[in-house]
Structure formats: C-alpha cells, structure tokens
Amino acid sequence: MTPDLLYHIRTVVYLSASITFIIGLKQMGNPATARRGNLIAAAGMILAIIVSVFINVKKIKLDNGLFDYVQSQPPAFVYWLILAAIVIGTVIGWFTAIKVKLTRMPELVSMFNGMGGACAALIGLIEFHHNTDNTGALVAIVLGMIIGSTSFSGSIIAFLKLNGSMKKPIRMPAYNMINTIWLIAMFAFGAYMIFGGSSSTLLITLLFISALAYGILFVIPIGGADMPVVISLLNSFTGLAAAFGGFLYDNKVMLTGGILVGSAGTILTIVMCKAMNRPLFNVIFGAFGQNNASGDGVAVTGSIKDISISDAAVMLNYSKNVVIVPGYGLAVAQAQHVIHELEVLLESRGVDVKYAVHPVAGRMPGHMNVLLAESNVDYSKLIEMEDINPEFEHTDVVLVVGANDVVNPAAKTDSSSPIYGMPILEVDKAKNIIVNKRSMNTGYAGIENLLFYDPKTSMLFGDAKKVLSDLVAEIKAIG
C-alpha cells in the first residue's frame, strides 16, 4: 500500500476512535447505557493504538501547496520494545484494576491519572531537543510537560492522601503565596524555554523537576475531604496535556480525546464542587482548616449517650421506618453486605427501610452507590439527599454507619465551621438517631460533630461490620 493510502486509513480509524470517545462519554452519563459506553470507548482506543503502531506516516506540506506522505520504518527492535512496554503496562494495569477492592477505587483512579500525566511529561522531555527551532512545537512541548508533570506528582499526593498515608493537610506558612509565585515563575521559565532559543538539557530537566515540585505544592495543603475535586481537576489537566501532545504531532485522536477530557473534566469538577457547596477557589486556596481554630473551638454542650446492641435492636425492630445513612466507615469495614442483610431482615419485620446517600458519601461522588450496588441493595432504595431530607422528620430511627461530616448540623448552624454551607443530610430532625462509629475521632474534615451530643442521639461504638452483624443476630433473636 502506498504511504498516502495508509495515512488515509489511519485518519479514518482516528476519526472512528474520536466518535467512540464522544459516544462513550455520552452513554456513561446514563446508568442504563454506562457500561456499554465505557466498552465502546475502550474499543476505539484499541483501534487507535493499533494503527498508531503499524502506520507511521507523516504528512508534509510541499512548497507548491500539495502534500507529500512520508512513511518511515524504524528498526525491528523498536517494535519489540513497544510491544513489550504495552504487554507490561497491560498486565500490571489489568491486575491492579481487577484485584483492588471497590473501596480503594478512588485512589486507583488517581494513580492511573498520574500515569497518563507522566506519559505526557516524558513525551515533552524527549521531544524538546528535536524541536528547538520550532516555536509552535515548543509551546505544545513545554505546556504539555508542565501540565503533565504537575498532574503526575499531584495525583501521587492525592493517592497517598486517599489511602491514608498522608492524612493531614501540610501547610507551610504563606503557602498560597509560595504556590502562586512558584506557578508564575514556572510559566516564566517555560516562556524562556519557548522563546529564549535555549537547547540546554539541564534547563529543560530543571523545568520538568520544578513542575513536579509544583504538583506536590499544589495538592499537599488540600484536605482529604476535597480530594475528589482535586482528582477530577488533575484528570482534566492530564486531558489537556494529552491534547498538547496531539498538537505537537498533529494527531487528531490525541487532540479530541485530550480536549474532551479536559473540558468534560472541568465541568465535572465544577459540578462536584456544587454538590459539596465548596467553591473551587476555596478548595484550591484552602478554606478548609484555615479557620480550623474556630472550628475546633465550637462550644460542645451536652454529653455522649451510649446504647447497647440489644436496645438498638429493639428500637429498630419496633419502628415503622428506618433510614440508613452509610458513610466511608461502612466501606472501610467492608460492611456493605451485612447492612443489606440488616435491611432485608427489618423489611421482613414490616419496617420500611431506605438509604440516604449524600452526594459525596464515601470518598467520591457516587462511590457509595457503587459499594451498595455491589452488595445487591435495590437501586430504588438509595435516596438522594434532596429527596430524603424532607422525610427525616417522619422517620422513627436514623442509623448512621460510619458517616460523620455529611450529617454534622454545624454545616447549617455554625458559620465559623469549616464545613459551614455544605449541604448535609438533616438527620437531626428524625425522632431517634443511632450513630455507629469506631471511636470519637473526628471525621475527614477534622471537626467536632454536634449531632453526637444531641439528646436524641445514641452512640453505638465499634467496628461497623461487627456491630451490624451483632444487630442482625439480636433482631433475629427478637423474632
């Protein structure tokens, strides 16, 4: 086949892959078609990768306005290297994705996002030398490298924060100032690399390192509760970095894929911020914790009241309706199956059971729905916040399992609280509240929860799985 024919074949495949990305993303927005959408996009991606390996043709514009198509054939060992790299990546990626527990998924997404960012950054780092005389290409290289590296190191920090290795936000004095200056200096440095005519390996490596450092500086002060927003933002960064790669190689499938994710990721970030009532600006510039002093200083009145398993069992068994509020604690204890057992048991006793799912319950929006769906909880029993809030005043018992900040009334009443203004599940309106927690430790936002001191609240301390299993056994005994 002639090079121009090969080039056109590749163009058709790239076009098809771009369409699968758009259709895939669209279908992922609807529960009924979501899985198919993901598979369609994956199929498009495989095709795009295959033609990229086997069709290496450049389109060059000639002086007379026509195009020339130049095919180049690298030595065979390059193909073997690429094949080996793809096999290694596939095996590791596949097994990590399959083996990991569903509760750990948010941090895994962050990790994979970081890998994409690093890939984009490496492309920029290597291509710099080939393009020192081409300003347009340098713009794409330098920006792609800065954004890719920031996304990589930022994602790794987000990963560490989500898996608990780095729980407290680390704030240097005047960190906002340092970060802003760093950011400006980095882009100034980048501009110098583009327009200054430098071809120094040392300088481009320094820029690479300073972008890695910026990613760390950017994410390290942000609290764990805001990580979903940060990951979503870094996700759109990586999209942008991929798009710059597309610009560099004049590769349309990289451009469409990258820009789609860049813009979709930005919108998703904004939507998530809205769900948590946290302006993006506050997330990045750290309103959480800045007024921590006043948050800790909330006057706590009243005392904690314990309840025994048997009392709790009686209370649940003889109530008309129960609302379960699942939180991350439930996920950590792997208690999603036993909570379903409890729900089925109570229903068999004529109790109406529902789940109240906060938009950010778990570690990411929708995370809790995934976990409960895993244990076969009926989809129609998961009620979203806006719909369940008016029902709480008619609810006999609310059972809070491992949730904290999302039920903290301080979000509505205490304007000095760091979570003030966040929409919450208004469980304090219910007739009785049972809270299962491992200990009196504060939640992810690191603040006291006034709900626990409410006279209507009883605390049921212990590991969620154990406590719920005991409850199930106790309720069975009542029958």
Partner 1 sequence: MIDQILEFIGTHEEMIFFILLSVFVGVEVISGVPAILHTPLMSGANAIHGVVIVGAIILMLNLEPENTIGMALGFLAVVLGTLNVVGGFAVTDRMLEMFKKK
Q: Which residues lie across from 460 on neighbouring strands?
A: 436
State the nearest-atom distance from the C-beta of 142 to partner 1, in Å: 14
State the nearest-atom distance from the C-beta of 436 to partner 1, in Å: 23
Angstrom distance (rounded) from CA 417 to CA 419: 5
Binding span for partner 1 by CB under 8 A among 52-60, 182-190, 304-312, 403-411: 52-60
Angstrom distance (rounded) from CA 297 to CA 267: 36
Q: Determine which residue in the list 2, 96, 199, 200 makes contact with partner 1, applying CB under 8 A.
A: 96
Sign for the CA dihedral angle at 358, 361, 364, 368 comes to negative
Angstrom distance (rounded) from CA 57 to CA 72: 7
Does 92 sit near partner 1 (CB under 8 A)? yes
CB 167 within 8 A of CB 224: yes
Does 85 sit near partner 1 (CB under 8 A)? yes
Total residues at the site for partner 1 (CB under 8 A)?
A: 118
Length of the chain equals 479
CB 409 within 8 A of CB 424: yes
Q: 28 CB contacts (<8 Å, ≥6 apart)?
A: 34, 37, 38, 41
Rounded to the nearest 10°, the torsion over CA 204, 205, 206, 212 is 110
- Tokens (6 digits) for 244: 């710059």
Does 86 sit near partner 1 (CB under 8 A)? yes
Does 125 sit near partner 1 (CB under 8 A)? yes
Angstrom distance (rounded) from CA 459 to CA 470: 15
Angstrom distance (rounded) from CA 319 to CA 321: 6
Contacts (CB under 8 A) with partner 1, residues 205-244: 228, 231-232, 235-236, 238-239, 241-243
Catalytic position from the list 226, 311, 405, 454 = 405
Contacts (CB under 8 A) with partner 1, residues 283-322: none
Q: Determine which residue in the list 6, 49, 166, 344 makes contact with partner 1, applying CB under 8 A.
A: 49
Does 265 sit near partner 1 (CB under 8 A)? yes
Binding span for partner 1 by CB under 8 A among 87-95, 281-289, 299-307, 462-470: 87-95
Does 378 sit near partner 1 (CB under 8 A)? yes
Nearer of residues 118 and 450 to partner 1, judged by Cβ: 118
Q: 274 CB contacts (<8 Å, ≥6 apart)?
A: none
Whether 463 sits among the annotated catalytic residues: the reply is no
Residue showing tokens 């939640």: 443
Does 30 sit near partner 1 (CB under 8 A)? yes
Binding span for partner 1 by CB under 8 A among 115-123, 209-217, 287-295, 429-437: 115-123
CB 445 within 8 A of CB 225: yes
Nearer of residues 83 and 300 to partner 1, judged by Cβ: 83
CB 262 within 8 A of CB 117: no
Binding span for partner 1 by CB under 8 A among 122-130, 318-326, 417-425, 460-468: 122-130
- Distances in Å between the alpha carbon of 426 and those of 145, 189, 351, 420? 46, 50, 21, 14
Q: Determine which residue in the list 2, 12, 60, 136 makes contact with partner 1, applying CB under 8 A.
A: 136
Q: Which residues lie across from 2 on neighbouring strands?
A: none
Helix (H) or strand (E) holding 436: strand 432-437
Nearer of residues 142 and 397 to partner 1, judged by Cβ: 142
If you ran DSSP here, which 8-state letter would residue 170 be given?
P
Does 12 sit near partner 1 (CB under 8 A)? no
Binding span for partner 1 by CB under 8 A among 121-129, 297-305, 438-446, 463-471: 121-129
State the nearest-atom distance from the C-beta of 308 to partner 1, in Å: 35
Q: Determine which residue in the list 373, 383, 438, 442 makes contact with partner 1, applying CB under 8 A.
A: 373
Contacts (CB under 8 A) with partner 1, residues 317-346: none
Q: Determine which residue in the list 132, 263, 282, 310 makes contact with partner 1, applying CB under 8 A.
A: 263
State the nearest-atom distance from the C-beta of 247 to partner 1, in Å: 7
DSSP string, 33-100: THHHHHHHHHHHHHHHHHHHHH--EEEEE-TTS-EEEEE----HHHHHHHHHHHHHHHHHHHHHHHHS
Does 196 sit near partner 1 (CB under 8 A)? no
Binding span for partner 1 by CB under 8 A among 268-276, 408-416, 455-463, 470-478: 268-276
Contacts (CB under 8 A) with partner 1, residues 146-165: 148
Enumerate the active-site residues: 405
